[in-house]
Amino acid sequence: MTKKSFPTLNRLLQMAVILVAFMNDNAFADGEAWPKEITLGYQKYGPLIILKSTGELEKRLQDKGVSVKWAEFQFGPPMLEALNANKLDFAVTGETPPVFAQAAKGSPLVYVANEPASPQGEGLVVKADSEIKSVVDLKGKKIATAKGSNAHYFLIQALAKAGLTLNDIEVAYLAPADARAALERGDVAAWSIWDYFYAAAEVQLATRTLTDGTGIVNNHAFYTSRREFVEKYPELIEIVLEAVRKTDAWVKNNPAEAAEKLAVHVGVDANILEKALRRSSYGSAHLTAEVVAAQQKIADTLLDIKLLPKVIEVEDAVWQSKDK
């Protein structure tokens, strides 16, 4: 071998080392592109539980090597406590729980999408034979609602529209099942609640609605995740949202069939669920400036009445997807 050939050989060796390193780096990146598991929090109502029942998400992620785990919650605040504790990767709640969750110290919560407004999906109900005829008549009465929930904010705004505040009533902070029982026993005069519990009260408890959310609240549903998770696995989040959108479209076009499917998994009569589904809106999308502003109004309102511990900027927690 001549002296002149050595530089060429050295260059080839260097190129080989660089190529091996590049391949190793890419292999690591591919391995990091998908987690081994994603955990989704859901409630016994809405698109996520239907998506769970179809197994569609599992099918979409099978070839990525990602297993899907589901965690059920009765309502939003404890679900987002789990999200903040890194026990969930994706969750769906009403509009108020994310505001409280974002105010928690070191919260990793980010908004990734929302459903359209569904104000008719919340109601302030009393027994049909109650002497209470309007929201104004609730002054001095005990009213049940779930603390930190969308129905909590709805109650605040419904009272405000009637010229009242939380100081004018007695609030009983109860989970939905306990609140329903309290109304049935007569331990509370009214109940501020969301669907499907609202529809169940209308059908099964012979209640009367003082007001629903129309003209009072938007009642958006929000899909949330953790900042580290979405930044590390943005493609996975988009796959989940695509599956949600597909489920949304099916529910919108097939409410009766969706109610039958839900009934099997929820243990609630299909006619109740159909009532709730038909007054819901579907079509999840990334947050617009208008939706962010509406969430900021909730945060500011809760801060003004000293229910929120600190100032938050909702916009700071909105995921900026590349697909927006």
pLDDT tens digits along 124-161: 999 999 999 999 999 999 999 999 999 999 999 999 99
Closest CA relative to residue 226, chosen from 21, 2, 35: 35
Closest CA relative to residue 298, chosen from 55, 89, 95, 73: 95
Give 71's pLDDT tier (boundaries 50, 70, 90).
very high
For the full predicted model, state whether its pTM sits above 0.85: yes
Give 12's pLDDT tier (boundaries 50, 70, 90).
very low
Reported in sequence order, the residue ranges of 6-66 that DSSP labels E, i.e. its strands, are 37-42
Token pair of 324, please?
């927006």
For the cut 70, the answer to whether the pLDDT of residue 1 exceeds it is no
pLDDT tens digits along 263-282: 998 899 999 999 999 999 99
**Range 87-100 average pLDDT:** 97
- Looking at every residue in the chain, the average pLDDT score rounds to 90
| pLDDT at position 321 | 72
HEC secondary structure over 76-107: HHHHHHHHHCCCCCEEEEECCHHHHHHCCCCC
Structural domains in the chain, CATH included, are 33-117+220-317 (3.40.190.10), 119-212 (3.40.190.10)
% of the chain residues with pLDDT over 90: 85
**Range 300-307 average pLDDT:** 96
| pLDDT at position 11 | 55
| pLDDT at position 118 | 97
